Structure 1
Amino acid sequence: MPATDDGDPADHFAIDTITDASERGYDTILSLKFPYNNASFPEPGSAEMDAELDRLDQVLPTVMGKVDIITIGNEPFIESLPAERDHRLNEFYETVARHVIDHRAEQCGQNCATTLYMGALNRLDLENRRTPATERWMRFVRETPEIEGVDIHPHVPDGDNVQAFLDYILPRMRADQTFLVTEFSLVWYWKQHLQDTISPEFAQKYGFHTDTQVWEVIGAAIEEPFSERQWHDFLTSSAWFMEQATFLHDQMAMYRETGRLAVATYGFKQDNLMVRNWSPNKDPWLLNSVFAPYTVASRGSGMAAPGFWLESFRSLQNG
């Protein structure tokens, strides 16, 4: 949302990309991101809140009725000051949600092609994330007829932890509501293994010292991208990684078995932020990606090389 201060939202690369995809027949989801992790939430009725709603009024006409789903919020319980993850967070997002609902009713009509979700909740596997503010969030979702459901982002240290997300949200929604999973991964599991020693077989085959750590090999791939074979060998020679080889299928089965999943999406490609200032303490989002342009040499003609997950990702499209 802050990008609206820099010019016409229709010209912003994210909105231009998503509206172009929509026009070409793709189903699309747009999350409205309100980063308040370095500033207090504006109070409803204040000049600051009016300015935020003015930003919405710049964005919504460009996307309403064009994208299939608008998610109101991105990660509110992360993109906020820790001390304000209480009623102040709820009041801000409820005000925003009602403004979006009113705009849709006035400008897009009863049969508007865009549905609305509230998003997204993180780390519901941790008891300290299930707070009174989280309860109020879910109550607003349940009691607001225009809201279709809630978005979740299960980034977890263990795939089994995701059940706690479903156990929390499903009983707190109306029977006709569904949920989104617009992000999910094992990033915190990967991070636990960055300082593991690599396999002797990989070290010998590719000339690394036997005491080389996982993060150092990834750093070498960032510095000079590996061949597809070498990157594949690195991952498949790592027992900790291969223990999770069925992660995508396991997760999608869990979501689909609820009968309440609307859409799940998965991280498609590595980006610059994932590799910048690489260290053993960096969150290894790059290990999630379907395509690996920053750790694997290009196939040529601008084609990024796939990472480990392409086969699973592709098969799930046909599931």
Structure 2
Amino acid sequence: MLRESNHRRTTRLLAMALLSCVMGEFNQPCWGQILGANFNERPKDVNTSLFAASENTWSRGFYDVLAMRGITSLETNENVLGLQRAADAGQQVLVSFKWNFKGFDRNVPAPGSDDELALFQRAVETLEAIDRPINAIVLGNEPMWETHDSDLSFSGGVVPYVQFTERLLDYVQTEYGSLQTEEPRYFLGSLNRLDQTSNQNRDVVQELFRVARDNPAISGMDLHIHFGTTAEARGMAQFARQTLGAEKDLLVTEFSPVWRYKDHLNDAIGATAAGSAFASQYGYASSLEVDEYLKNAFANQVSRQEWTDFITSQPWFNTNHLSDMHGLFEEFGVSIATLGYAQPLSMRGLDPTKPNYSPFHINWLYISALVEGTTLEAYNELYMEDWLHEQRFLADLDDDSQITLADYDTIRSSLHQDVANLSYNELLKLGDLNLDRSVDYLDLQRFFDSYASVNGVRLGDLNGDSIVDVTDWPLMLANMNTSLVAQGIDESLWQSMGDINRSGWVDRNDFRLFKNAYLAAGNRLASLEAGDSEIAAPEPTCCSLTVAACVWLGGRHWFQYSKRTASKTNSTTTYGSNDSHSLTGRIRVWLSRSR
């Protein structure tokens, strides 16, 4: 399958987004959406070196609570330790609880029973063992597949599984959530195959959506969208958004076109001209079936280039899967979607030729079981291209397919505001780019990184060394309050002279930009919103900027500028060393107050 160009893909997705925003039945602005890492039942596979390379900020794992009952030491459990590593690496953590009642051949326990209490306690003990902030908890995982039908239908006026989930929520809130510095958000789910009317009408589905809509303690619903056709995926997302309403959040913690792939496992890899060319290039028989090719790749690992050429040559493989799904998720207000992230080496030797095999495993981002090289090198090249594109364009807050200073202004205006109680979708619109429920310098850092990746220019890097640090500072100060247009300076030099916003004038707006870029680069000041009393004794970082400015510049130009500004507002102002209009005083005030 030929892969469309980045320009064509961006144009297509923008047209889809604009159409859905204009014609969508919810009459809501377009939503942003985060892609995250899904480790499923194996958080032990967390490899923190991958997070920076993929610019990832969210990690999800699930725990089978019934299976966890046999673990004597949760604190040393490798799956618990895996999410600890993720949190310590700066990840926002999402935990799902799996209740595999069918697998253990048992029914949902009776309300108030010792059995119910024991399960609730084990769930909370697992959260306590993680011992790290948890941003979101999904209270269930695929109940339609993992719970007996008798517990999914009304009995005595209640649906037993739903009643169990509501009681679980109360217990987790009381015994865990309310005791945390910041309480996790709670979601119901995870629901499957909601494109099918038979599933839509099931008692458990209707009741879970009712609770999600009506209970203020529930933040929304989680879906698993595994599909054969795009129409099926759309049907699932559309039904969920229509049934949930526009106010609460949707998550999708699993998604793949697995049933489409499964339908083609017995196709010949050389059935098309592109496939035949691939087979000839790499020495395979054109008649080799897809599942046999996959068996060989799982057994021996192929080069990353070969894997890219393989999937590109196969008409059943959608190489634009990530960008297509990202567009669909944005359309229906999915705030977080997590993808199969990193194949464990133990997956090598998998045999896709076995009966009833479902090829979930070829839809991951890092594919060390299929591709040779280190884990960092063994990624799905075309998925990674789209993954990074979507991660970076999360900073496109005004949805104009660009990352500009207009997006920066949105984040800056929301800095340090009280936004913790807003929905994820509302937070994304304000610039909470990692959805940690705060618009802060981590979000500005992500904006500046995304701006640099997309536009090829790092804002605030005046000397061109690709970082923002104290060595850039004097270049701005030397030109403060200077019209570069009036001096006839070539526009290509404006950034290096301190005109970061390219207005033709080096002014306070550029100062604000530099200061925020400096902070976002990890150079922390004593206080972002300090008063004059705090500025008088700044942190060493603040002092270093102030002293550097004085030494390099000699103070003359800045002092003259400060004096001119002061004379306009107060002709009797004097310039003592502690006054806010002195050389050091004015720099400290601007460092502390400019935002």
**TM-score after normalising by structure 2:** 0.50
Amino acid at match of 1:317: Q
Deviation, 1:17, is 2.0
SS in 1 for 2:335: strand
CA contact (8 A) 2:348 2:370 kept: no
Partner of 1:291: 366
Of the three residues 325, 328, 334, the one matched with 1:254 is 328
SS in 2 for 1:208: coil
Deviates more, 1:269-278 or 1:223-232: 269-278
Mapped pair 1:219 → 2:295: yes
Partner of 2:426: none
Alignment of 1:66-145 (within 5 A): 66-86=133-153, 87-104=159-176, 106-108=178-180, 112-130=182-200, 131-145=202-216
Deviation, 1:161, is 1.5
SS in 2 for 1:198: coil
Deviation, 1:24, is 3.1
Partner of 1:317: 391
- TM-superposition CA deviations, 1:225-262 (whole Å, max 9, x none): 11122222211111221xx222211211121133x332
Deviation, 1:277, is 4.1
Partner of 2:343: 270
Give, in whole Å, the separation in 2 of the partners of 1:90 and 1:127.
20
- TM-superposition CA deviations, 1:16-37 (whole Å, max 9, x none): 2223322332212111122112
Deviates more, 1:289-298 or 1:168-177: 168-177
Deviation, 1:43, is 1.7
80 and 276 in structure 1: CA distance in 2 versus 1, 3 angstrom threshold: farther
Partner of 1:16: 81
240 and 106 in structure 1: CA distance in 2 versus 1, 3 angstrom threshold: closer
CA contact (8 A) 1:4 1:59 kept: no
- TM-superposition CA deviations, 1:169-207 (whole Å, max 9, x none): 223335431111111110111101101111222222222
CA contact (8 A) 1:180 1:264 kept: yes
Give, in whole Å, the separation in 2 of the partners of 1:236 and 1:220.
18
Unpaired runs of at least 5, structure 2: 1-64, 154-158, 271-275, 394-595
Mapped pair 1:50 → 2:123: no
Amino acid at match of 1:48: D
Alignment of 1:25-40 (within 5 A): 25-38=90-103, 39=105, 40=107
SS in 1 for 2:81: helix
SS in 2 for 1:28: strand
Give, in whole Å, the separation in 2 of the partners of 1:294 and 1:253.
29
Partner of 2:378: 305
Give, in whole Å, the separation in 2 of the partners of 1:176 and 1:274.
44
Give, in whole Å, the separation in 2 of the partners of 1:81 and 1:145.
28
Deviation, 1:273, is 5.4
- TM-superposition CA deviations, 1:29-68 (whole Å, max 9, x none): 1111221122222121222212112212312334577111
47 and 104 in structure 1: CA distance in 2 versus 1, 3 angstrom threshold: closer
SS in 2 for 1:292: coil
Give, in whole Å, the separation in 2 of the partners of 1:268 and 1:74.
18
Deviation, 1:156, is 0.6
Give, in whole Å, the separation in 2 of the partners of 1:75 and 1:274.
27
Give, in whole Å, the separation in 2 of the partners of 1:220 and 1:59.
39
64 and 78 in structure 1: CA distance in 2 versus 1, 3 angstrom threshold: farther
Unpaired runs of at least 5, structure 1: none
Mapped pair 1:153 → 2:224: yes
Of the three residues 224, 230, 238, the one matched with 2:314 is 238
SS in 1 for 2:96: strand
SS in 1 for 2:127: helix
27 and 165 in structure 1: CA distance in 2 versus 1, 3 angstrom threshold: same
Of the three residues 154, 160, 168, the one matched with 2:239 is 168
205 and 43 in structure 1: CA distance in 2 versus 1, 3 angstrom threshold: same
SS in 2 for 1:270: coil
Deviation, 1:98, is 2.1
Of the three residues 181, 184, 192, the one matched with 2:263 is 192
CA contact (8 A) 1:65 1:113 kept: no
Give, in whole Å, the separation in 2 of the partners of 1:147 and 1:162.
24
Deviation, 1:289, is 0.9
Give, in whole Å, the separation in 2 of the partners of 1:95 and 1:143.
15
- TM-superposition CA deviations, 1:63-82 (whole Å, max 9, x none): 57711111111221122234
Deviates more, 1:206-215 or 1:277-286: 277-286
Give, in whole Å, the separation in 1 of the partners of 2:343 and 2:118.
34
Give, in whole Å, the separation in 1 of the partners of 2:196 and 2:84.
36
CA contact (8 A) 2:347 2:369 kept: no
CA contact (8 A) 1:155 1:187 kept: yes
CA contact (8 A) 2:299 2:349 kept: no
Give, in whole Å, the separation in 2 of the partners of 1:190 and 1:278.
12
Deviates more, 1:131-140 or 1:45-54: 45-54
SS in 2 for 1:77: helix
Q: After TM superposition, where is structure 1 displaced by more than 6 Å over at least 4 residues in a row? A: none
Deviation, 1:139, is 0.6
171 and 233 in structure 1: CA distance in 2 versus 1, 3 angstrom threshold: closer
**TM-score after normalising by structure 1:** 0.90
Q: Which has the larger radius of gyration?
A: 2
CA contact (8 A) 1:27 1:67 kept: yes
Amino acid at match of 2:170: R
Give, in whole Å, the separation in 1 of the partners of 2:245 and 2:127.
26
282 and 61 in structure 1: CA distance in 2 versus 1, 3 angstrom threshold: same
